Structures are given as C-alpha cells and as structure tokens.
C-alpha cells in the first residue's frame, strides 16, 4: 500500500459554469424536471442525469443514499455538486452497508472534472475500505469545504488519479477501525491538500495516523502550519529519507506526541501542547485567546484566507491551523431574562446600519446545534459567526465587521429545524 497525506505546490483554477442548474430537495421527486420549484428527490438521480457544465444545488436535509457519479465534466465545464447557500446537507450512510470493497458513501470513479462542495458526509461503513468521499482512477477533482464524520476508512480517499485539490475540509472520526489514513492520497500525482482540519481519528486498530509519508517517489513535500491533535497512533510519521526527498515539516502544533514509534517526528519550529479550541465537544475548532497556535505560524506560502474565508494574518503574524484568531464575535447568555423562550427567534441586529460593531440576539427554545452565518447579496458566505451546541436561553452576539466592505449583508440562523434570516447594513 502506498499512501500519503501532504501538500504539494499546485495552482488550481476555479471551474467555470456554463451549463444548467438543477435542484435536489427532500420533498422532491425524481420524476420532476429538477427545477427549484420542482426539485429531484435523490442526489443519485442527479448524478445519472447531469452533464458537463451543470450544477446541482442540494437543499437542506438528510439524504440516506449511496451516491456513485456517472458522468464527467470537461475542461472549464466542471459538474458541480454543492449545498445550497446557507443550507446544511447531510448524506448519511447509517442504516445500510456499503459494498465489501474499496468504495465510499460519495463515490467518484472513472469520471473527471467534478467539484464537490459544502456537503456533510457521515456514517460510511462497515467494511475496512469504506470511505466518506472515495475517488479512484480519475482526474481534475475538487473536494472543498466538506465535512466527513465516522467513516470506517478514510474521510477522503484518493487513488490512481491526478490533478486533485482537497481544500478546506473537516475530517473527524475517520479510520474508525478500518484501514488507510484520515485523508489518503495513493498512486496519485499533481495534487494539493490545504487548509483541512483533521482530528479525533478512530481507535486505530488498522490505522489512526495524522499524516504518514511513505512514498519514496515523492519529492518537494511541505507539511506546514497544521494542528495535529490526539490522533491515536501518532500525529506525523514517515518511512522515507526526508532529506533526500526534500521534505519540509515545520511550524506545526503537535498535541499528543506518542513517542512509541521511531518514525514519529515533530518537524522543525514546532509548538507542542493543547491547541485550546473553543469547544471540542461541540466541534468548534476556532482558537481561544490563549491558544499556543496564535501568532506562531509561518508566513511562507500561507493562504490569504482562513477556513471561514476571513483574511489572514490578523495583527501581522499568522496563526497555526485552519482558523485565524479573530476577537470579533462574543456570544453572551442574557441571564437577566432567566427564562426559557417559548419559541425560536432571530432578532434584528442593533444598531443597524452600523460600523464596525452591532449586536445580534437570538432565542433558543430547546437544546440544539446553532449555526449563524453572514452572506453578501450574491449568496457568498463572508463570515461564519456560530457553529456550536446551545442550551435553551436568550443569547446575544457582538459582531465586528472588520474586513467587510460597506453594503448590505444577510445573516442567516439555523437552530434545529428552525431557519430565519435578516438584513444588516455595514457603513463606511
């Protein structure tokens, strides 16, 4: 087996869209034409229908299906599968078994020029080589801003391919007693793996490494500005001559160095310790103000934006990890009310218009996951303010618009099944 997870310096161009736009929604029907008013029911039907240049917008909901893409895009005409802006789309493999061979809940095999964006893919198994997103024998694939959780094998696995971009994904509880690595790239060239957050790997009976480099044919490898936290076997490992292969491993934060294996390493200019995430149990991996990751990253080839799309660095120095520390939002519970709200509610921000600070208040009727995001008028996410679990209560968030241009923005909240949105105006 030849597997590795790393960063190679490759430039990818955002795919252009020239084809039709289709929609999938839980209340749809595969007999429908796939319009927004008459959407399809299944993503698989979309995969069997769309052609080069088409885009599939998937509306909020849980889709219990094994998806196998059927058609390819072409240069400049990618086929795009993406969550509808602001929606949480979950593809859930719980309740059925994937095939007993290398496969994934979302399978991209022998089709090319594909973009997969903004999906939540969970519970892929139960066989040793069942991945969340599985890519094999293909090329020009973009996998961006997705979340995978509880996959027996890799959260994202790529084999026998070229021209692959894996960017801005969160991979949690991968290799959950299966094989491979949390992100696996094997027998593949011309690829880039950047800005991903890989954490809390499985128990590691057949895997559980953070990054493991074992391909002797790879050269000029850079592993930089990553947080490796509590992977079971080790955080960074290798079995090649790093100097001969021109491998650079530096400026990473190591949490959980095991020290049991000769091939486990720190790299140079590393930090060690608890990364001080905001809320691990609630899957909020933004940094607290006392995190050792703050201001200890390298500026060399560092991206200009963090996982939320906010500009980095802040304060002149780069942070280690997916999120740049920004003390621009503060969520406080309004304990003075001392009551449980009768219903979910999103209030209008005050003051409005504002520059640079405003307050947003929301009511949580029952314990649930709360997500609050800000979008421009083109539907592009410009800030992720909240993604956490909250108990019943009345809360207010203090938002600072530093980094945003003046204009009208839409802020959307999702609390369980409740969704609401309002507009706010940022002044010059």
Mind listing the pLDDT tens digit for each residue in 339-374?
688 899 999 999 999 998 899 999 988 888 889 999
**Same domain (yes/no): 55, 158:** yes
Secondary structure of residue 48 in the 3-state scheme = helix
Q: What is the four-CA torsion angle of 143, 145, 151, 153, rounded to 10 degrees?
A: 40
pLDDT at 392: 85
- Whether residues 377 and 258 share a domain: the answer is no
The reported pLDDT for the residue numbered 325 is 77
Q: What pLDDT sits at residue 11?
A: 39
Q: How many Cβ atoms from other residues are within 10 Å of residue 59's Cβ? A: 17
* pTM of full prediction above 0.75: no
Q: Count of domains in the chain? A: 2
Residue 279 sits in the same domain as residue 343? no
Last residue of some domain: 287, 321, 349? 287
Query: 422 lies in which domain range?
Result: 329-426
223 and 366 both lie in a single domain: no
Asked, for residue 237, whether it belongs to a domain, the answer is yes
Residue 224 sits in the same domain as residue 333? no
User: Does 212 reside within a domain?
Assistant: yes
Same-domain pairing of 252 and 333: no
Same domain, 220 and 279: yes
**Are 180 and 253 contained in the same domain?**
yes
In a domain, residue 126? The reply is yes
pLDDT value of residue 333: 63
Q: CA 404, CA 131: separation in Å to the nearest integer?
A: 38
Q: Are residues 247 and 142 in the same domain?
A: yes
Contacting residues for 24 by C-beta, under 8 A, at least 6 apart? 34, 39, 40, 41, 42, 43, 45, 46, 56, 57, 58, 59, 63
Tell whether 272 and 362 lie within a shared domain: no
Which parts of the chain sit beneath pLDDT 70?
1-18, 204-209, 282-283, 315, 326-339
pLDDT for the residue 10: 43
Residues 276 and 369 in one domain: no
385-389 contacts, C-beta under 8 A, 24 or more apart: 385/329, 385/360, 385/411, 386/329, 386/331, 386/413, 387/283, 387/284, 388/278, 388/279, 388/282, 388/283, 388/284, 389/279, 389/281, 389/282
- What is the predicted pLDDT for the residue at 327? 53
Question: What would the pLDDT profile of 372-395 be if each residue is shown by its tens digit?
Answer: 999 999 999 888 888 777 778 888
pLDDT of residue 97: 96
User: H or E stretch including 80?
Assistant: strand 79-83
The per-residue pLDDT for 80 is: 97
Q: Are residues 160 and 252 in the same domain?
A: yes
pLDDT at res. 62: 97
């Amino acid at each position: 087996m030849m597997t590795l997870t790393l960063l190679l310096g490759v430039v990818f161009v955002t795919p252009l869209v020239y084809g039709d736009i289709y929609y999938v929604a839980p209340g749809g029907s595969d007999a429908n034409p796939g319009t927004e008013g008459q959407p399809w029911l299944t993503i698989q039907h979309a995969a069997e229908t769309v052609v080069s240049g088409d885009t599939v917008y998937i509306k909020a909901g849980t889709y219990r299906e094994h998806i196998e893409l059927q058609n390819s895009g072409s240069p400049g005409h990618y086929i795009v599968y993406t969550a509808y802006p602001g929606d949480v789309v979950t593809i859930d493999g719980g309740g059925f078994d994937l095939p007993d061979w290398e496969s994934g809940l979302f399978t991209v095999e022998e089709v090319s020029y594909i973009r997969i964006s903004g999906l939540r893919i969970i519970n892929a198994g139960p066989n040793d080589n069942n991945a969340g997103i599985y890519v094999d024998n293909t090329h020009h694939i973009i996998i961006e801003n997705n979340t995978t959780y509880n996959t027996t094998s890799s959260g994202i696995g790529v084999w026998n391919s070229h021209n692959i971009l894996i960017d801005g994904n969160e991979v949690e509880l991968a290799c959950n007693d299966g094989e491979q690595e949390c992100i696996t790239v094997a027998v593949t060239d011309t690829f880039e793996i950047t800005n991903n957050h890989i954490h809390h790997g499985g128990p590691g009976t057949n895997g559980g490494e953070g990054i493991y480099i074992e391909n002797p044919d790879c050269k000029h490898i850079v592993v930089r500005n990553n947080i490796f936290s509590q992977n079971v076997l080790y955080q960074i490992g290798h079995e090649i001559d790093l100097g001969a292969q021109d491998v650079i491993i530096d400026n990473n934060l190591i949490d959980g160095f095991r020290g049991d294996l000769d091939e486990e390493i720190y790299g140079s200019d590393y930090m060690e310790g608890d990364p001080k995430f905001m809320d691990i149990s609630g899957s909020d991996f933004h940094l607290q103000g006392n995190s050792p990751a703050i201001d200890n990253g390298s500026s060399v080839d560092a991206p200009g934006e963090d996982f939320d799309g906010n500009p980095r660095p802040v304060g002149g120095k780069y942070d280690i990890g997916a999120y740049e520390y920004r003390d621009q939002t503060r969520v406080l519970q309004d304990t003075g009310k001392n009551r449980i709200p009768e219903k979910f509610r999103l209030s209008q921000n005050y003051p409005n218009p504002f520059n640079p600070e405003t307050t947003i208040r929301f009511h949580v009727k029952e314990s649930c996951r709360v997500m609050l995001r800000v979008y421009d008028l083109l539907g592009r996410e410009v800030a992720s303010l909240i993604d956490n679990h909250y108990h019943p209560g009345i809360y207010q968030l203090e938002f600072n618009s530093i980094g945003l241009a003046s204009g009208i923005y839409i802020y959307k909240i999702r609390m369980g099944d409740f969704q609401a949105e309002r507009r706010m105006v940022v002044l010059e």
